[in-house]
Amino acid sequence: MAGMQGVSKRWQVTERDVAWLAWIGRWRGATSVQVSAEFAGRGESAPKTVVDRRLRGLKEIGLAEMHRMVHDLPSAWSLTREGMNVAGVAGRVLKPRLADFRHDHEVIAIARQVAVDKPSHQLVTEREIRRLETPDGGVLKDPKYSVRMMGTGRSLRWLYPDLVSVSPEGQTWAHELEASRKDSRRLVRLMMAYIYADHITGVRYYAVPQVEATVKAAAAEANAAAAEIGRPRKIFVQPWRDISPRPATSTSRGRALPPEDAYSE
């Protein structure tokens, strides 16, 4: 296989391994449980025990790294530069960050749920969006997924969704996990950036219980402002599970996405 010169003969890298590496490379890091769930969801054989064993082998030959982040979640896996080369993943080598790990872990759960709810949608991760649409010198023409915040010159900045899903008809939906407290004014400003972004059909905010009321109030204000200026209602709020630290035996699950006419294909 191309890019495998010098790799230990003890482990023969398979096409399935490469597919798993490529998927992990879409994120800052992912657990073996998530790899197993993703590929099982595609109808492929990916028992966790097999995923664990293969990832340990890929670590042994220098394609992957394991990171123990928090006590109540499984270890995360990321790609080395060689692993990125083998999987065809471009960009910088990234590793999980402790400060963002719970958030990143949960966004993958959201992506799996969106894939089940809307199997015909193409998913684009934040890492992929940043790789495709990080502006050079502050200039980005015709973004497909990112959103320009209000302002000009040095105050100009870009908003990168946690996740994007694109329908076969080309409707682009942003998905944002809200798991930490934000000032309501800031939330409204972020939501209004999406309201003004013509290439974004709508945004679904997944709000944990601690911030759900604040996010819903901000969404109502942003949607009301949109109506006043003749723009469509774009902001929708989905309650999400509590992701604060908890015992590893917790079996809490995310709630299913409710039917939403504005989110129909």
- 12 vs 221: CA distance, rounded Å: 56
More confident position, 12 or 32: 32
In whole angstroms, how far apart are CA 171 and each of 2, 123, 207, 263? 37, 12, 23, 10
Can you give the pTM of this predicted structure? 0.87
Same domain (yes/no): 81, 31: yes
Nearest to 218 by CA among 196, 173, 186: 186
Task: Examine residue 1 and state whether it is found in any structural domain, yes or no.
Answer: no
Same domain (yes/no): 105, 177: yes
pLDDT tens string 141-182: 789 999 988 654 454 588 999 999 999 999 999 999 999 999
CA torsion sign for 36, 174, 119, 126 is negative
Task: Examine residue 250 and state whether it is found in any structural domain, yes or no.
Answer: yes
Task: Examine residue 71 and state whether it is found in any structural domain, yes or no.
Answer: yes
Same domain (yes/no): 119, 82: no
Q: Name the residue range of residue 29's domain.
A: 15-96
Q: Which residues contact 218 (CB under 8 A, 6 or more apart)?
A: 184, 187, 188, 191
Instruction: State residue 5's pLDDT score.
Output: 42
Same domain (yes/no): 186, 237: yes
Which residues are paired to 172 by β-bridges? Answer: 166
Task: Examine residue 2 and state whether it is found in any structural domain, yes or no.
Answer: no
Lowest-confidence region among 112-126, 132-146, 227-241:
132-146
Tokens standing for residue 29 = 């890091």
Q: What is the mean pLDDT of residues 203-223?
A: 98
Q: Are 7 and 62 in contact (CB under 8 A)?
A: yes
- 178 vs 207: CA distance, rounded Å: 5
- Report H helices in the chain: 15-24, 32-41, 48-60, 81-87, 101-117, 126-133, 184-196, 212-228
Same domain (yes/no): 72, 129: no
